[in-house]
Amino acid sequence: MNIKKKYNPIKQLVMNKKLYLPLLLAVLVAFVGCKKMGGLSADYFTVTPSPLEVVGGKVAATITGKFPEKYFKKKVTVTVTPYLVYEGGETAAASYTYQGEKVKGNNQTISYKLGGNITMKASFDYIPQMRKSDLYLAFKVQKGSKSYDLPRVKVAEGVLATAEISNAATVKPALAADKFQRIINESRKADILFLIQQANIRANQLSTDQMKEFHNEVANAASAANKELKGINISSYASPDGGVELNTKLAENREKNTVKYMNEQLKKGNIETDMTAEFTAQDWEGFKELVEKSNIQDKDLILRVLSMYSDPEQREKEIKNMSSTFKVLADEILPQLRYSRITASIDIIGKSDAEISKLAASDPKSLTLDELLYAGTLTDSKDDKIAIYKKAAEIYPNDYRAYNNVGMAYYQKQNVAEAENWFKKAAKIDPKAPEVQMNLGLISLAKNDYNKAAQEFGNAAGIDELKEATGVLYLKKGEYQKAVKAFGDTKSNNAAIAQILTKDYNKAKNTLSSINNGKDATTLYLLAVVGARTNNEKMVKENLQKAISLDNQMKAFAAADIEFAKYDISSLTK
């Protein structure tokens, strides 16, 4: 007998749930598990410094952030890469990888339920395009063999690059100086010897070769176009034997007679010049000097007496007590101390600037090395300097100075390769020359070899230009306080940059305002930066306008400079 079971829909539904519920849950879990992680907001991240800044040729940032609660899937890894994005390209920094709770690995684990805090360090080698740039974070999610990218997050914008305005090319290289002197003073001397206790001038003293030569030199100095007789001095002496009163009278009379003689000679030669005269009653200093140079047997004893007694009479008494010794003194030493010395001061006048410049171009071999080196300082043309210094190196190949100065002129023309070539030639001749060492340091600085530059600058102690060079080195290394100290009171754009970067804006303004010969568009631009940092809009716009009028390239530079981000300078940079 067939008994039909009555269909119960409620019971059937219960039975179906028991059958399909696990399956539905499994499908739901699978669906949820496959859902991609969503993008993150910039609010979850902070960047220090903000804005970013170039320090020592690097743009460095510390990025702190947070993965929110119930966000980070348990079976995924997320790789975060900072990118600095700029017109025409982007640069990546080192990546950081984070993992979910069920991933086996050595990366920082992020809790799904609680989320997690992260810290990343990013560093980029600076290039000029980065001045106008944005810092992004890129996220790559990996689960098993599958991966996908989350939308990038912009966390910072702009890079302060004021430090990069510093320029080693503007540092003045060290000149190896000439020793040229247009006027060289020379002395011509002649002595008149007197007999003991006498002041009259003997005829034989006026006919000596020394006296004849003296008068010829005086006459020549009075008449020659390239000489000038500056004056004549007469110093008369008495030997220290005899009393002070007697010696005073003797020395004074010797002076009078010698002055009278010289006046007669000058009048005879129709020579006009100033004359001065003085006398010394007892020439103990001369006595001591002659004894020291002599071979007298008891000279140590005599010198000891001189040191023991300061009173002239006591000295004379003690020396005369040494009877045998005193006889030698009377014969060999004392006669030399009874004299008048006539000294003519003569200026030798060298070639004029015009003469030297003309000869440097037409007949360089007729000039001395120092005259040629001096000729190089008489022109502002770098090409003319190079030609003069090269000729000096050719004519005088064994002196490093000419080679150094050729390199200096090339460096000022911003031809670093040729400058280095000539500095190395100078170093072969004199590797320890401080000018050469400093200039080689500038080459190393231009090549960003800061360690070598520091070593070479250290070998250039005493060079005036070294302060500026060392200051720029510290700027390039990002050591701004050291840069300020190195610059000292230097008035230059580079020195002002160091002061801006250490936030000494008043000093930076004073430095820039004090620049005279070297004031240029960069000087005015830096004054605008000082204005921006001190909230002086008028100072910003006035100096930017002047800078752009001197150098039109400043338009684009200012438009991309985050220093002026809060000012409307569009009318200046169109």
Inside any domain, residue 195: yes
Same domain, 285 and 258: yes
CATH number at residue 248: 3.30.1330.60
Please give the helix or strand (H or E) that residue 252 lies within, else none: helix 244-268
CA 74 – CA 111 distance, rounded (Å): 8
| For residue 3, pLDDT beyond 70 | no
DSSP state letter for 415: -
Report the pLDDT averaged over residues 384-405.
98
Nearest CA to 147 out of 83, 84, 97 is that of 97
Same domain, 94 and 238: no
| For residue 417, pLDDT beyond 50 | yes
Q: 105: domain range?
A: 42-160
| For residue 481, pLDDT beyond 80 | yes
Same domain, 269 and 145: no
| pLDDT recorded at residue 324 | 65
Q: Mark which of 160, 191, 223 sits at the end of a domain.
A: 160
| pLDDT recorded at residue 323 | 55
Where residue 29 falls among pLDDT bands split at 50, 70, 90? very low
Inside any domain, residue 272: yes
Write down the mean pLDDT value for the chain.
90
Same domain, 188 and 121: no
- The percentage of residues in the chain with a pLDDT greater than 90, rounded to a whole number, is 79
| pLDDT recorded at residue 438 | 97
Where residue 25 falls among pLDDT bands split at 50, 70, 90? very low
10 Å Cβ neighbour count for 277? Answer: 16
Inside any domain, residue 463: no
Look up the pTM and report it.
0.73
| For residue 298, pLDDT beyond 50 | yes
Same domain, 220 and 342: yes
Give the tens place of pLDDT for each residue, 354-373.
999 999 999 999 999 999 99
Report the pLDDT averaged over residues 310-334.
73
| pLDDT recorded at residue 295 | 81
Q: Can you tell me whether residue 301 is helix, strand or coil? A: helix
Give the tens place of pLDDT for each residue, 500-514.
999 999 999 999 999
Same domain, 74 and 152: yes
Sign of CA dihedral 420, 421, 425, 431: positive
Inside any domain, residue 323: yes
**Given phi > 0 = left and psi -120 to 50 = alpha, else beta, which region is 252?**
alpha
Buried b (16+ CB within 10 A) or exposed e, 321-343: eeeebbebbeeebbeebbbbebb
Report the pLDDT averaged over residues 379-384.
96
Report the pLDDT averaged over residues 254-272.
95
Inside any domain, residue 538: no
Where residue 147 falls among pLDDT bands split at 50, 70, 90? very high
CATH number at residue 408: 1.25.40.10
Give the tens place of pLDDT for each residue, 57-85.
999 999 999 999 999 999 999 999 999 99
Same domain, 196 and 325: yes
Nearest CA to 372 out of 382, 360, 361, 383 is that of 360
